[in-house]
Amino acid sequence: MQGFHKPIVVISKCLGFDPCRYNGDVIHDKFIEKLANFVTYITVCPEVEIGLGIPREPIRLVSNKSDKKIKLVQPKTESDLTVRMKNFADRFLDSLHDVDGFILKSRSPSCAISDAKVTSGMEKTHTISKNAGLFGDAVLKRYSHLAVEDEGRIKNFAIREHFLIKLFTLAHFNNIKRKNNFKDLLIFHSNNKYLFMAYNQVKLKELGRITANGKKMPVEEMYMRYEEVLADVLQERPSYTSNINVLHHIMGYFSKVLTKGEKEFFLNLVEQYRMNMVPLSSPVGVLKSWNARHKNMYLAEQTFFTPYPTQLIEITDSGKGRNFA
């Protein structure tokens, strides 16, 4: 397999880079620190960027009674920061050229992507709903097709796995897209066949039709159409049943050379994966070992086996939901 392209990730600055939280705190996160060796981070603190100091009075989201629009306010100073924050978000996002993903601070009225508290008025502290923060909302409106997560959600194994696969796949795609070469796209499509099959079999066929049509379409247009469908492919993480389908497909390459005992061992491992007793990497590891012995070059290039750097694999989990994707 080829090396990995280094993704560009925009990240909330308080996640280990600067003590810029409202109370002067910084949050250290081991996964974010480890990921720093494999990506290029662009840090941003939207609240500092709109001129709020460190430390600062807390700010929060409130829902406007009349039109239900969400505002960003600082109760102590009775300031409405909505326009300042929206303008900053637009300016900042306009200035980004190449970006593959975002890791934003959860629960922040500025950075959160889903779980910032919303209250009904400046003085009210009772939570009536949860929403993205204003900066997080602007990111999602523009970049929902990229790998976008918060530091709380990526503590979950399955969510982190999906985030990393999406991040490194898109970084590779964005890299070849800049070169605008037809052959690169064909290789990309071929090497990702089983990964995309696990993600979305129907859309995989659609991608295949785009690349098959290569000679009748300008390369630039082909990349654009491929990118649109690729966003759909990577939208939802694969179900364990579609991962099992791919495991069976790849096992088929070795069916003639395996002993009965080897087949039984593998199918038993797949069953354990189905029952959420072992991670996907267990049956995948067996397939890799068979391929190390039998050397199928097509399979050796498949990203399904190693979709992101192995040093980033961690079987830690926040304990919410199915453990193993």
By the 10 Å C-beta count (0-12 exposed, 13-18 middle, 19+ buried), 290 is classed as: buried
Q: Is the peptide bond before 75 cis (omega within 30 degrees of 0)?
A: no
- Cβ 320 to ligand SF4, closest distance in Å? 22
CA 135 to CA 88: how far, in whole Å? 8
Nearer to ligand SF4, 13 or 189 (CB): 13
3-state secondary structure of 176: helix
CA 246 to CA 196: how far, in whole Å? 10
CA 182 to CA 163: how far, in whole Å? 27
Nearer to ligand SF4, 13 or 166 (CB): 13
- Cβ 144 to ligand SF4, closest distance in Å? 19
Residue 156 DSSP one-character state:
S
Nearer to ligand SF4, 52 or 167 (CB): 52
- Cβ 30 to ligand SF4, closest distance in Å? 18
- Cβ 32 to ligand SF4, closest distance in Å? 12
Binding interface with ligand SF4 (CB under 6 A): 12-14, 20-21, 45-47, 105, 108, 110-111
Nearer to ligand SF4, 20 or 312 (CB): 20
Nearer to ligand SF4, 72 or 207 (CB): 72
3-state secondary structure of 130: strand
Query: Cβ(111)–Cβ(133) under 8 Å?
Result: yes
- Cβ 171 to ligand SF4, closest distance in Å? 23
